[in-house]
């Protein structure tokens, strides 16, 4: 019995020990669970605070963007120029009130190509357009500049109504031409008197019935030559005074240079002159009047021929920059007196007895009408260079020929 009692006692102690161990494990697990729960609560609270902060910041940003959007809308409405936004498919996304007033409605969801065809007329000046009478009953002229996004392919157009400035500019040009014509009158009388007097003298000899046939024929030829000179002088003067806008077209520079070379080379060889043409145009294009530009370059080459010694070298060179094209005519003549440099483009100013003094004036006027300029460079050794500078036709510009094709 005693042994059995001892066994039971030992078993009871073991059970108690196991129970205490289990309780200890449970207590530890419960404490760990409580710790994890507290940590989880803290994390949830922290995340909740961060989320609330983020939501507050997001709402603040949204409010700022909304405020900025309203300010931008007010700014676009207050701008004196028109603003048109075009998507990457050429469809108008938005337009401010000035754009709607200039171009007419509807604009939104129309393609820019439609607007070009239906409401605008191309002019001879890059970036400038006339509005069709269907859009405005009176004459309106506008300028269009563009800014494109390379990433999105979208484009923003800035439209300005330049009617008043254009009208004033044309009026000033007319007044200047009238003033020049007044100053030219005295010079013209002097220019006409000498060849006219000579022609009259020759014609008087023709009335002499006793004049030999050979001399009569010679006087007749000289009379015709003087009359042709007078006709050329009058035509040149009228061409300069009118100053009418010339019709422009897109031309290939290489074709232009090739045409001039074919035309001028026989004349150069006849006078024993070297003629070199350097085409640095690289296939570029120009929006100009072909006949006017060709005539201007030929006039400069003819001047170079008259100034060059026998065996001299005359060159016609074309060079490019990002925005401009340069044509340079260089000779090896005696050069130009620096005292005459500022008067070279004045009407009737000439240093040659047989010159009319209108050649360079006409060249200068023609190139100006095409948006360019003429410069003269006196070489240090001998000779001179005349440089025609013209705006280059580029797909990155909004020009009459590429505004419709670029979007």
Which of residues 107, 134, 161 is at a domain's end? 161
Residues 347 and 386 both lie in one domain: yes
Residue of 397, 403, 404, 392 lying closest to 250 (CA atoms): 392
Which of residues 29, 60, 78 is at a domain's end? 78
Residues 275 and 401 both lie in one domain: yes
Classify residue 202: in a domain, yes or no: no
Classify residue 138: in a domain, yes or no: yes
Tally of domains in the chain: 3
DSSP class per residue in 123-175? -SSTTEEEEPTTT-SS--EEEEEEEE-TTT--EEEEEEE-HHHHHHHHHHHHH
Residues 268 and 149 both lie in one domain: no
Residues 263 and 148 both lie in one domain: no
In angstroms, the CA 314 to CA 221 distance is 32
* Residue position matching structure tokens 């205490």: 20
Residues 378 and 271 both lie in one domain: yes
Residues 36 and 156 both lie in one domain: no
Residues 250 and 102 both lie in one domain: no
pLDDT tens per residue across all 407 residues of the chain: 555 555 555 566 666 777 777 778 777 777 787 787 788 888 888 888 888 887 777 776 776 666 665 666 656 565 678 888 888 888 988 888 888 888 888 888 888 888 888 888 888 787 888 888 765 667 889 888 888 877 777 888 888 888 888 889 888 878 877 776 676 665 666 567 767 777 788 888 777 777 788 888 888 888 888 788 777 767 766 766 665 555 778 888 999 999 889 888 888 898 899 999 999 877 788 888 888 888 889 889 988 888 888 889 999 999 988 889 999 999 888 777 666 666 677 766 666 656 666 778 888 888 888 888 998 887 656 788 899 999 887 544 444 444 444 44
Classify residue 368: in a domain, yes or no: yes
| Residue 135 lies in domain | 82-161
Give whole-number Cα distances, 324 to 71, 86, 372, in Å: 39, 28, 9
Contacts with 58 (C-beta within 8 Å, 6 or more apart), sequence order: none
Residues 348 and 378 both lie in one domain: yes
Q: Which two tokens stand for residue 376?
A: 């003269």
Classify residue 324: in a domain, yes or no: yes
* Residue position matching structure tokens 């031309």: 251
pTM, rounded to two decimals: 0.49
Residues 291 and 359 both lie in one domain: yes
């Amino acid at each position: 019995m005693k042994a059995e009692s001892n066994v039971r006692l030992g078993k009871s102690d073991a059970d108690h020990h196991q129970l205490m161990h289990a309780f200890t494990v449970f207590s530890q697990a419960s404490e760990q669970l409580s710790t994890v729960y507290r940590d989880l609560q803290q994390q949830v609270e922290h995340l909740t605070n961060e989320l609330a902060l983020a939501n507050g910041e997001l709402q603040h940003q949204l409010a700022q963007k909304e405020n900025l959007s309203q300010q931008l809308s007010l700014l676009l409405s207050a701008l004196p120029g028109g603003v048109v936004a075009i998507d990457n498919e050429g469809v108008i996304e938005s337009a401010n009130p000035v754009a709607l007033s200039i171009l007419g409605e509807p604009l939104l969801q129309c393609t820019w190509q439609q607007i070009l065809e239906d409401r605008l007329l191309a002019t001879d000046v890059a970036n400038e357009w006339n509005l069709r009478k269907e859009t405005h009953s009176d004459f309106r002229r506008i300028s269009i500049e563009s800014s494109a996004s390379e990433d999105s392919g979208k484009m923003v157009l800035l439209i300005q109504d330049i009617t008043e400035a254009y009208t004033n500019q044309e009026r000033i040009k007319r007044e200047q031409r009238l003033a020049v014509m007044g100053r030219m009158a005295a010079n013209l009388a002097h220019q006409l008197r000498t060849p006219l007097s000579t022609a009259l003298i020759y014609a008087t000899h023709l009335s002499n019935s006793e004049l030999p046939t050979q001399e009569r024929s010679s006087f007749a030829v000289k009379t015709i030559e003087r009359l042709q000179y007078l006709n050329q002088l009058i035509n040149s003067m009228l061409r300069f005074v009118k100053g009418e806008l010339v019709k422009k077209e897109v031309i290939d520079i290489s074709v232009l240079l090739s045409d001039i070379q074919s035309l001028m080379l026989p004349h150069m060889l006849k006078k024993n002159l070297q003629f070199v043409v350097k085409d640095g145009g690289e296939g570029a294009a120009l929006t100009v009047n072909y006949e006017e530009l060709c005539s201007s370059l030929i006039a400069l080459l003819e001047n170079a021929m008259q100034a060059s010694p026998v065996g001299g070298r005359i060159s016609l060179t074309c060079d490019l920059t990002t925005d401009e094209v340069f044509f340079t005519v260089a000779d090896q003549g005696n050069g130009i007196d620096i005292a005459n440099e500022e008067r070279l483009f004045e009407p009737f100013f000439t240093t040659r007895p047989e010159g009319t003094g209108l050649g360079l004036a006409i060249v200068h006027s023609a190139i100006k009408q095409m948006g360019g300029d003429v410069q003269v460079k006196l070489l240090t050794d001998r000779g001179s260079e005349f440089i025609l500078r013209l705006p280059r036709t580029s797909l990155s510009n909004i020009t009459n020929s590429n505004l419709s094709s670029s979007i």
